[in-house]
Amino acid sequence: MSTTPTQTRHDQHGRYPRAESVEDFRHNLATVQQRIDAACQRVGRDPAGVRLLPVSKTMDEAHIRLAYAAGCRLLGENKVQEAHHKWEAMQDLGDLHWSVIGHLQTNKAKLVARFASEFQALDSLRLAETLDRRLQTEGRQLDVFVQVNTSNEDSKFGLAPNEVAAFVQAMPRFGNLRVRGLMTLALFSAAPEQVRACFVRLRQLREQLRQSAPAAVQLDELSMGMSGDFEIAIEEGATVVRVGQAIFGARSVPDSHYWPDAAGTR
Ligand SMILES: *Cc1c(COP(=O)(O)O)cnc(C)c1O
């Protein structure tokens, strides 16, 4: 690795200009892809092994349609009701799919079972059970990621690292959930070594789990990294990066709306 470690880009946070045209989206997507390629190159990875998941939370239908025109076909949303409304409103875009990446209350599992293609924040057996039952009713299957709290912050959702092995053992019971891997949110910090430690923790956990995981459970995917830290995540093995602001532009809703302690850790 180079002598200057990759820095976070949290200084850009809240400053990305809003994308207002298909051209803007094409440009932003190309810029993010270049950053992905460069990060891969630094550690000798093939960029084909990193999926970019654009995150459209808080963005309105008009902007989402521009992103679609620029080529986006799978979008991440972290509130299920917001995602469901968008799915309903854009039924005419038959090949636009939705990934729910935020915490889900059990009483809203029904919605996810109805329309989502992917769910990245699985963090309880009760939720797994409810989702599985609802999916059975809908006659659908769902790709899921187990969310792990690698930063040990109370405000973050996800299983504690030492709970994940037992959780994964229980997964084959839920025939409509296809476990793809693990997901995490790093510490929201400008200190790159602290951010990197979260990503390393997730990768090491995955390596450990692979020794004991049931055959039906795939742990190939590591979903980690967002606009401010996805390059570090890729250097540590991310296969999915969830990028909102670097593609759509800054959100008008403050991050404290999503991460109650984000404001204090800038
Ligand atoms: C909002 C969000 C992201 C993307 O964050 P950006 O700073 O917009 O790139 C990634 N993951 C989750 C879970 C999110 O809620």
For residue 258, tell me if it sits in a domain.
no
For residue 185, tell me if it sits in a domain.
yes
Tens digits of per-residue pLDDT, 171-204? 999 999 999 999 999 998 889 999 999 999 999 9
For residue 88, tell me if it sits in a domain.
yes
For residue 66, tell me if it sits in a domain.
yes
Residue 263 has pLDDT above 60, yes or no: no
For residue 222, tell me if it sits in a domain.
yes
Protein residues with CB under 6 Å of any ligand 1 atom: 55, 57, 78, 101-102, 185, 226-228, 242-246, 258
For residue 50, report the distance from its CA to the centre of ligand 1, in Å: 16
pLDDT band at 17, cuts 50/70/90? very high
What integer pLDDT is reported at residue 258 of this predicted model?
Answer: 63
183 CA closest ligand 1 atom index: 13
Cα dihedral sign, 195-116-62-78: negative
For residue 4, tell me if it sits in a domain.
no
* Alpha-carbon gap, residue 122 to 17, rounded angstroms: 32
Domain count, the chain: 1
248 CA closest ligand 1 atom index: 8
246 CA closest ligand 1 atom index: 9
pLDDT band at 213, cuts 50/70/90? very high
